[in-house]
Structure 1
Amino acid sequence: MRGEGVALAAAAPALLAGRPKSLDAMGIATFAGLSALAFAGGHAAQAFVTDHGRTVATGALAALIFLTLPVMPFTEQYAREEAPRIVWGTPAFKRTNRLFSAAWGGVFALMTLAHLVASTAPHNTGLDVVCNWIVPIVAVQQMFTFMKRYRTRQSAPRPA
């Protein structure tokens, strides 16, 4: 399994800076768990990880995002690196990060469902390509577009 290496590489800058993120930790733990299962669990476990690893990984991320939403939305950890400390406690900062985190949770939930469909669909139907690649790519692209538009609307001057 290469996922844990990718998760560690993605998390390295935050870990080295002493600012680990919950999403990074969940990615590392999920991929390490899937790797351990694949290596120690025999052929059936390897087949499960091969067939359903994407579903488990995106489902775990969606669950983490939704569970941490009331405490600290995961996007807030990233936003604090860009925003001045004075705005961290403001209602607008909190509202925006809850909205973005909830929307990202929805993206990961959609990806989980798409991966599940792909892993249970008959082979050679093209559904695996659509569900494993097209749906996630379009969902992430749409999320970035949504975030950019939202920020633009929020920073636009309000009519008096």
Structure 2
Amino acid sequence: MRGLLGFLPWIAYAVIATGDEWRWGAITGLTLALALVALDRRAGKGWDEMVIESSAAIFFTCLTALSLADPHSPLTPYGPALVNVWLAGTAWGSLALRRPFTLGIARSMAPKEVWETPRFYRVNAVITTVWAVAFTVAALSLTLVLHTSPHATTLVIAIKVLSFVLPSAFTAWYPKRVRRVPAG
């Protein structure tokens, strides 16, 4: 579950940011992201273990600047969708670079002798793909909901929760499933 700590800035933003308070959500997300990056670097973690945290630092730097420069930006209501667009881009980008964002996190929890195996890479590629799909579906769903029903708070919360809980559950389940199946 340590790997999920990297999502703390995103979760904090989702909880704090509302139409009127997106600035505080952005500032909180930025503060948490920078703190996580600093703590992880001080602990000796490599950049490949901090993809989500580093991505959060970049995103929340930009969002904080935008929210302070233009507090009434037309993007304000779409904050939850923007988060998922960015996370989807991070996940899909890491796959395109053949460096699934889960790889560094998984290396911190797996024995070194499996790090370079095709199976290890494949497991992380599958897990990262599940996250990428979840972020993409959430981005599209949130954009649609926020455009057509901007006050559908319950539905927005449900999409946010499901887009995190479902891939988290898959991330916990899938490696165990793969370990039970003989390599072949």
TM-score range, shorter chain: 0.7 to 0.9
For residue 56 of structure 2, what is the aligned residue in structure 1? Answer: 27
The correspondence for 2:37, drawn from 11, 17, 37, is: 11
Question: Runs of 4 or more off by more than 4 Å in structure 1?
Answer: none
CA RMSD after TM alignment: 2.0
* Count of aligned pairs: 152
Asked whether 1:129 is paired with 2:154, we answer yes
Shift of 1:63: 0.7
Structure 1's unaligned 5+ residue stretches are none
Q: Which moved more, 1:58-67 or 1:148-157?
A: 148-157
For residue 108 of structure 2, what is the aligned residue in structure 1? Answer: 81
Structure 2's unaligned 5+ residue stretches are 1-22
Shift of 1:14: 1.8
Q: Contact 1:34–1:53 (CA<8 Å) still a contact in 2?
A: no
The correspondence for 1:144, drawn from 160, 168, 174, is: 168
Q: CA 1:54 to 1:12, structure 2 compared with 1: closer, same or farther past 3 Å? A: farther
Q: Contact 1:69–1:101 (CA<8 Å) still a contact in 2?
A: yes
- Give per-residue Cα distances to partners, 1:13-61, cap 9 Å, x unaligned: 32322423122111111111011012123x542x52x312222122111
Q: CA 1:87 to 1:138, structure 2 compared with 1: closer, same or farther past 3 Å? A: same
TM-score, with normalisation over the residues of structure 1? 0.82
Q: CA 1:52 to 1:157, structure 2 compared with 1: closer, same or farther past 3 Å? A: closer
Give the residue type in structure 1 aligned to 2:112.
Answer: R
Give the residue type in structure 2 aligned to 1:4.
Answer: L
Shift of 1:10: 3.9
Q: Contact 1:62–1:108 (CA<8 Å) still a contact in 2?
A: yes
For residue 146 of structure 2, what is the aligned residue in structure 1? Answer: 119
The correspondence for 2:69, drawn from 26, 29, 40, is: 40
TM-score, with normalisation over the residues of structure 2? 0.73
For residue 16 of structure 2, what is the aligned residue in structure 1? Answer: none
Greater C-alpha radius of gyration: 1
Give the residue type in structure 2 aligned to 1:100.
Answer: I
Q: CA 1:88 to 1:57, structure 2 compared with 1: closer, same or farther past 3 Å? A: same
Shift of 1:147: 2.8
Q: Contact 2:127–2:170 (CA<8 Å) still a contact in 1?
A: no
Q: CA 1:123 to 1:136, structure 2 compared with 1: closer, same or farther past 3 Å? A: closer
Q: Which moved more, 1:80-89 or 1:140-149?
A: 140-149
For residue 95 of structure 2, what is the aligned residue in structure 1? Answer: 69
Q: Percent identity?
A: 24
